[in-house]
Amino acid sequence: MKQRFGILRAACAAAAIGFAGAASARAQVTPAGGYTPPDDTPTVKVGGTIFANYTYVGEPQTTDSDGNRIHPNAFDITRAYINVTGNISHLVAFRITPDVVRTGAVTIPGTTPPVTSDVPGLTGTLTYRLKYAYGQLNFDDWTTKGSWFRLGMQQTPIVDYEEGIYRYRFQGPIFVDREGFLTSSDLGASLHWAFPQNYGDVHVGVYDGEGYTSGEKNDQKAFQVRATVRPAPMIPVLKGLRLTGFYDGDHYVQDAKKERFVGQLTFEHPFVNLGVDYLRATDQNASAAKPEVKAEGYSVWVTPRTPFGLEALIRFDRIKPNKDADAARQRLVGGIAYWFPVQKGVAAAVLLDYEEVRSFHFSPARPRDERYALHTLFNF
């Protein structure tokens, strides 16, 4: 009996030693780090963008209903976005944005043949149309942050990109958009990939090519690609320097070219932003039997700023619609703006500016366009 008790006691002691050893071994293992799953809570945000202005047209003058020569002037709204954005999950996002547009145009009396101008506020009504409506698949789980795929009515690769650097869309569109060579939104599918360590990005897409203001008119599609390189993202004074190339290959109809190439240099700094755009375009409008018309132009802009919100805008554009002809058009914009101090993600600004457009060697001759305006921006 004593012998059995001794054997049992020895077994219990051995078990206790084994348990203590196992516990000690477990205590020496570093616990695994906690895993925080991505936030898949659906979110919806509603914001808006308003461009309101007052414009006085110095030249050309027009005529009122009683035959008096007048300088057209008007208050106007040139943009009123309602932005609905959100996430269905951390992988799936969306955006819906209707945009305001004024229908109709003004024909300036006294010009032969009649010249149509977009003199603000004088005719037509403000109506809403769809500007953006797309779904987005984010690739953050598999590659660099900021990479995605989009399908629907969306930003085209170059216009929205440059407007993020040139902050004065509320004064007027960037060069390639303002001259009608490219549009800011179109129906299509696109892919965006951000280079590692902020060295740049690539945005490539296939679009209808007609822009968001028109439906598809043929069986042709536009292939657009923008590649941007930031040469020195680690050097503070140079990290705002970016070099960009853009190509748009499309056709009006089969074999009738519609091509655009843009070379661009931009620089961002706390005290100045600047940009230089060079454009080459080839068009065989409506028929492959027509000769190719090659356009060429450039735009230079700079926006020096102060630490207390005051900022200047200086811009010069020049375009030759046909580089083999003498006809040319140039635009000069100069203004002073004040950007209100606000939190990140919103913006409010007021701009007092002068704009002059001169046309040379057109037949028939085109009048000089001279405007003074007070522009405002509200983005929230």
CB burial string 258-281: b at 16+ within 10 A, e below: bbbebebebbeeeeebbbebebeb
Concatenating the DSSP letter of every residue in 308-373 gives: TSEEEEEEEEEEESSTTSS-EEEEEEEEEEEEPP--TT-EEEEEEEEEEEEEES-SS----EEEEE
Question: 120-125 — which CB contacts under 8 Å span 24+ positions?
Answer: 120/53, 120/55, 120/74, 120/76, 120/78, 121/55, 121/74, 121/75, 121/76, 122/72, 122/74
Mean pLDDT by runs of 10 across the 380 residues of the chain is: 43 43 44 71 96 96 92 93 96 95 56 45 71 97 96 97 97 96 97 97 97 89 98 95 98 94 98 98 87 96 97 98 96 98 95 97 94 97
Q: How many CB atoms within 10 Å of residue 349?
A: 20
The pLDDT score that the predictor gives to residue 208 is 96
CB burial string 76-102: b at 16+ within 10 A, e below: bebbbbebbbebeeebebbbbbbbbbb
45, 86 contact by CB (below 8 A): yes
- Structural domains in the chain, CATH included, are 40-379 (2.40.160.10)
Tell me: the pLDDT tens digits for 238-295?
A: 999 999 999 999 999 999 999 999 999 999 999 999 999 999 999 998 787 889 999 9
In the chain, the amino acid numbered 104 is G
The pLDDT score that the predictor gives to residue 38 is 85
The pLDDT score that the predictor gives to residue 47 is 96
